[in-house]
Amino acid sequence: MTFLYKADPVRGAEWAALFAEKAPDLPFRIWPDFGDPGRVRYLAAWLPPDDLERRFPNLELLFSVGAGIDQFDLGALPPDLPVVRMTEPGITAGMVEYVTMAVLGLHRDLPAYLDGQRRREWRPLRVQPAAKRRVGVLGLGRLARAVLDRLAAFGFPLAGWSRSRREIPGVACHAGPDELPAMLERSDILVCLLPLTDATRGILGAGLFSRLPQGAALVHVGRGPQLDHDALLAALDGGRLSAVWLDVTEPEPLPADHRLWSHPKVVLTPHIASMTQPETAVDLVLDAIRRHRAGEPLPGLVDRARGY
Ligand code: NDP
């Protein structure tokens, strides 16, 4: 049986070295060198090849090399093939660092100071205590919970929003569309950590922005298609939003003449909030294979009906 990797080939070479060390009995191949297709049992991919069922008739598990699976066309996959997303701890650590940086950067007015520096303007703003800066997180999943745990240490009043009801000590939890407005109304800094699904596409738009406190700030680390760029620019220009820290856009990269590149109230990074770390990812994948063989539950198993 073979493990096939189909994503960035440089990282694939790192996976290959780790497989050779940790699972020498499991042949590891990098797309397009898949060898005998009948032997491919496991596939880790960013974008799986078309016609998976016909190409690899004995495939048992499909891994996403990323935390999300929105890049997969779930309807085109064999219906019973388990799809496992990446829940390795390196992704979580990276996301906690990034969102903490962004929330602190917005809390301490970094976009305004970067703009002031460019203009050679020495303009101190009043420092707000963290206890008066309310942070709300859209999504209460693996990444959001780790982020909230770290943000709690600074003393920000915290809230979160999920599809099903969650309880997290120290976090005002909201569930479902009916409770979204209440959560938005108490979010001076809003963080989006939602997966991209039909229900979350375009969620960061004019309607949502109108519910936020005047001058609120946004951190967007979910997926580009969740954000309406025109509504965002209108909210920034009109003062409804004071600043935005963006890691994801649609398209990626943005066209060279897009206003978001140079907007003084925008910090933009190229989808780097967190990345799968080969060492811990290979440990997770090998553990999932072991569990699959033993008939045990798989961590990160995607619920296809839910879409994440
Ligand atoms: P999880 O699946 O663990 O959590 C998703 C959360 O979103 C859950 O709390 C879920 O609710 C909630 N949710 C989903 N749909 C809705 C909805 N319609 N309404 C309200 N809440 C909803 O995902 P992760 O925390 O692991 O990852 C979240 C996302 O972060 C990824 O899907 C990816 O898009 C993004 N990401 C971005 C990266 C970057 O570099 N920018 C890197 C890694 C991830 P419930 O609890 O009820 O299920």
Mutate to test the pocket of ligand 1, among 72, 86, 143, 161 (most ligand atoms within 8 A of CB): 143
Which ligand 1 atom minimizes the distance to the CA of 223? 34
Give residue 285's pLDDT: 98
In the chain, what's the furthest Cα-to-Cα distance? 67
Contact 20, 28 (CB under 8 A): yes
Distances (CA, A) of 208 to 106, 129, 144, 245: 19, 26, 19, 17
Check residue 221 and give its pLDDT.
Answer: 98
Query: From first to last of its 308 residues, what are the pLDDT tens digits of the chain?
Result: 999 999 999 999 999 999 999 999 999 999 999 999 999 999 999 999 999 999 999 999 999 999 999 999 999 999 999 999 999 999 999 999 999 999 999 999 999 999 999 999 999 999 999 999 999 999 999 999 999 999 999 999 999 999 999 999 999 999 999 999 999 999 999 999 999 999 999 999 999 999 999 999 999 999 999 999 999 999 999 999 999 999 999 999 999 999 999 999 999 999 999 999 999 999 999 999 999 999 999 999 999 999 99
Pocket test for ligand 1, best of 194, 208, 298, 306 (most atoms within 8 A of CB): 194
Give the integer Cα–Cα distance in Å for 217 and 191: 9
C-alpha 269 – ligand 1 centre gap (Å): 20
Catalytic site positions: 223, 271
**Lining residues, ligand 1, CB within 6 Å:** 67-68, 91, 95, 139-144, 161-164, 166, 193-197, 199-200, 221-223, 247-248, 271, 273-274, 308
For residue 263, the model assigns a pLDDT of 97
Integer angstrom CA distances of residue 114 from 110, 178, 243, 244, 266 = 6, 38, 12, 13, 10
What torsion, rounded to 10 degrees, do the Cα atoms 16, 19, 25, 31 define? -40
pLDDT of residue 74: 93
Report cis status (omega within 30 of 0) of the bond before 253.
yes
Q: What is the dihedral of CA 296, 299, 302, 308, to 10 degrees?
A: 160
